[in-house]
Amino acid sequence: MRIGSIQLRNPFILAPLAGYTDLPFRLLCQEYGAGLTVSEMISCHGLTYCQPPTIQMLATTPAEQPFSVQLFGAEPGIMGDAAAILSDYHLDIIDINMGCPVRKVIKKGAGCALMRTPELAAQIIRQVVNNTDRPVTVKFRSGWNHQEISAPRFAQMAEDAGAAALTIHARTWSDGFSGQADWQIIRKVKKSVNIPVIGNGDIHSYEDGLRMMAETGCQGVMIGRAALGAPWIFQPQSASPTLATRIAALSRHLELIPQFMDSKRCLGRTKNHAGRYFKGIPGGSIIRQKIYAATSFQELRGQVSTFDI
Ligand SMILES: Cc1cc2nc3c(=O)[nH]c(=O)nc-3n(C[C@H](O)[C@H](O)[C@H](O)COP(=O)(O)O)c2cc1C
């Protein structure tokens, strides 16, 4: 699929996951075939104030290509300024978050709250589009709740405002992350616009991704939670990973982390990632206990090298 001028080599995309989709994990997913990776959501205010933690979240490397940066905010002017600042950074696409259900974000009128203020959402998209030469995409949900399923209309608004592609998470704000995603809405969104549509929600395997494209007509699929501890999900025939596959992926992940992050400071995050490689497999809980018991990155890496294949 193509997003504006950017050609994706694979329509399977890694979803933005705050707290998880840092550069080492994104790069790992690209090595396993992900056609596009997206940063964690980045505050437009943090960017315009040049706050160091925000700037760090823009870190990428030439091997991560294509790379999308996701912005969130509720003020069109500041979102436009943030898009202009991004012109100086290596990134291929700017995504706008209009689907985050978290109360702190909603209270400020950002994230999924923008689905209830579509005129404001349109102004934000236009400002971002007018302040960048990169394609702009929008990620949103089915609607606010089951009485307000507004995604097809919202999608048309986003296309009219200049979006180059759309991602629809097939849940409402009121669903949060629970219940089953209703893929029917993806088909309706696809029918309502002429730009590429990426479907998202409850893809648990590569085959699920193919099924979503076949059932809804969407051109791409975005995988979130199921990619954690399972970067091979972006490849065909990845349904039954062996222990060796898991250890090889984690070992590569642990190789990438110190190349791009301070491994001492991100030990907690690293253990959280590492434990996920062994969820739901026989003997997995013993392996996870060893991972969580590690008191340093070196110890964790040493432990992993002793796991029996
Ligand atoms: C821990 C976590 C963090 C997330 N962070 C973001 C984010 O920063 N931006 C965003 O648009 N969506 C975020 N999401 C939503 C995911 O991108 C995705 O839409 C959702 O998890 C549904 O896809 P899945 O069923 O494949 O996980 C997050 C979800 C989770 C579970």
How many angstroms separate the CA atoms of 146 and 140, rounded? 15
pLDDT of residue 280 exceeding 80, the answer is yes
How many angstroms separate the CA atoms of 10 and 193, rounded? 22
3 CA distance to ligand 1 middle (Å): 20
Q: Can you say how many angstroms the Cα of residue 136 is from the centroid of all Cα atoms in its chain? A: 15
> Which residue has 């960017």 as its token pair?
47
Cβ atoms of 303 and 291 within 8 Å: the answer is yes
Nearest protein CA to atom 23 of ligand 1, as residue: 201
294 CA distance to ligand 1 middle (Å): 28
- Element (H or E) spanning 206, and its range? helix 206-216
Bridge partners (DSSP) listed for residue 305: none
- Element (H or E) spanning 254, and its range? helix 243-260
> Which residue has 């404001």 as its token pair?
120
The 10s digit of each residue's pLDDT in 222-244 is 999 999 999 999 999 878 899 99
> Counting beta carbons within 10 angstroms of the beta carbon of residue 7, is it exposed (0 to 12), middle (13 to 18) or buried (19 or more)?
exposed
How many angstroms separate the CA atoms of 39 and 257, rounded? 16
How many angstroms separate the CA atoms of 235 and 205, rounded? 9
The 10s digit of each residue's pLDDT in 194-224 is 999 999 999 999 999 999 999 999 999 999 9
- Ligand 1 pocket test target in 14, 54, 166, 169 with most atoms within 8 Å of CB: 169
| Residue 234 half-sphere exposure toward CB, CA atoms < 13 A | 29
Cβ atoms of 47 and 54 within 8 Å: the answer is yes
From the CB of residue 231, how many other CB atoms can be counted at a distance below 10 Å?
A: 26
How many angstroms separate the CA atoms of 193 and 67, rounded? 24
User: Does the annotation count 100 as an active-site position?
Assistant: yes
Model pLDDT, residue 239: 82
The 10s digit of each residue's pLDDT in 152-190 is 999 999 999 999 999 999 999 999 999 999 999 999 999
Confidence of residue 309 (pLDDT cuts 50, 70, 90): low
Per the structure block, which two tokens stand in for 103?
A: 């109360």
User: Taking the model in full, what pTM does it have?
Assistant: 0.97
3-state secondary structure of 86: helix
The 10s digit of each residue's pLDDT in 81-124 is 999 999 999 999 999 999 999 999 999 999 999 999 999 999 99
Per the structure block, which two tokens stand in for 59?
A: 């870190």
**Contact residues of ligand 1, CB 6 A cut-off:** 15-19, 40-41, 70, 97, 99-100, 139, 169, 177, 200-203, 223-226
How many angstroms separate the CA atoms of 272 and 165, rounded? 32
Nearest protein CA to atom 22 of ligand 1, as residue: 201
- Ligand 1 pocket test target in 17, 38, 208, 273 with most atoms within 8 Å of CB: 17
| Set 44, 100, 112, 218: catalytic member | 100
Calculate mean pLDDT across residues 40-53.
Answer: 96
308 CA distance to ligand 1 middle (Å): 33
